[in-house]
Structure 1
């Protein structure tokens, strides 16, 4: 039985790049089942590519093969790798930080550098700008179809050598928790943080409590307000703000039926710091 092959990239679908990767995969095995994670990663945004993998990968069956191509360093000496996750999936990708969240939050049990003398689309050797088609789609399809086993991807490399992007850990400081805004819930404009639910509730906060939220871009505060810690969007009126627990069991901030990111011009990354504490009684009583 063939394993699923799941593609992710920053290519979009306005041209033929994604279709070309499909074509290469089907040329390996026409019976493959191919799916898309997303092709709407912002151009060159390795951080978001990493986040979308952790958001999705662990929910797929063991031996599913993911091909992630967000590769601003294509043509340089960055490695091409395949890894096996602690939950049993495979990821084929440039070693440029794309595996940051998988390595930290899921775990990698084995890593291999792709042997491009074997795992490269035939007659593509003169091209150095479309490794997504020529190396990653080709290798991913060969692995998913069973043409090669994982050991045939290439030689083993130490897991600790897999490149990670800089991360700022969420922390608790007396009466507040602080972390970073890692990514947006793109379609709805909610802010997804790296603050775990368990760390947050250690402040003694329960559903329905009012919390004070502060957001800084570097050291400049761009937002501060009081909102409800809600179980779901239905707990507040349309247009009201809320703090809730997202699908990764981390805290998120939103406007019910509105875009928090667009309303307050807030973006993502390690320079966007969010802190949350139980609102002082003087503020809301």
Structure 2
């Protein structure tokens, strides 16, 4: 299904470039040199180096809070300079400019309508193109062009969205008496986040147990304040998925939680 695209002049920017070096500033400089009126919003530049999964998760948590017509520039690109495609993906009237390496996985799962283009129109690039810095020389300039009103059809050739790379994740296992799935991200507070959603629950929240490693929690709460300080709590976070936390503490440190560990939700047996 073709979507109407109306640029807002807003570009969000996510990367694993860090804040110690000048990489982020270089990308912004190229975009602003092309189109000085852009509004550039940083999502995060502290994605762990080459961590596509974390980048994909962070991107998915925030794109919908921006207006339709926003361009989302995301660069976590361990395959830079190889045959992996640079792409633009139009999903529910938002444009994503990024490497085709799975970074757009969670957006694709959520979006109702998707179109995609391979970024093969070099006239939109910065030259010469570095083999190791496509964020500055390909993705940034293209994102700036799109945010200023250039149509996606002008920056690349259409590709079948079904061919876009997706991350291979352990699937949620949903059964009549429970559900289990992996921790996909641990945030700044040490909260462990999953893709388990309310519709996956086998019983009302108060009739469930949540287990991850040696951590056992009775019931799913509404918010942190439903338990005493220092106590573990399970709740549905702002991204919509089940999270494990410790009120006024750090669940990952206290309970030795790491990404990939399975979280299991079961109905209490009476």
| TM-score, with structure 2 as normaliser | 0.93
Displacement of 1:277 in angstroms is: 1.5
Equivalent residue number for residue 122 of structure 2: 117
Number of equivalenced pairs: 264
- The equivalent position to 1:28 in structure 2, one of 34, 42, 50, is 34
Where in structure 1 are there 5+ consecutive unaligned residues? 216-221
The alignment's C-alpha RMSD in Å is: 1.6
The Cα shift of 1:106 comes to 2.1
**TM-fit CA distance, 1:4:** 0.2
Q: Work out the CA distance in 1 between the residues paired with 2:264 and 2:173.
A: 9
Q: Does 1:106 align with 2:111?
A: yes
Residues 1:107 and 1:93: Cα distance change in structure 2 (over 3 Å): farther
User: Structure 2: how far apart are the matches of 1:108 and 1:101?
Assistant: 14
Give the unaligned 5+ runs of structure 2. 1-6
2:195 aligned with 1:194, yes or no? yes
**How far apart are residue 171 of structure 1 and its match?**
2.8
Does the CA contact (< 8 Å) of 1:190 and 1:259 recur in 2?
yes
Distance 1:30 1:226, change over 3 A: closer
Q: 1:35 to 1:111 in 2, by over 3 A?
A: same
Residue aligned with 2:157, SS: coil
Q: How does 1:265-280 map to 2 (within 5 A)?
A: 265-269=256-260, 272-280=261-269
The alpha-carbon deviation at position 140 of structure 1 amounts to 0.2
* Structural mapping, 1:125-164, within 5 Å: 125=129, 127-146=130-149, 148-164=150-166
Structure 1 runs, 4 residues or longer, greater than 4 Å off: none
Match of 1:170? 172
Secondary structure, in 3 states, of the residue corresponding to 1:198? helix
Q: CA deviation at 1:108?
A: 4.8
CA contact (8 A) 2:116 2:160 kept: yes
- Is 2:203 the counterpart of 1:204? yes
The 2-side partners of 1:37 and 1:277 are apart by: 35
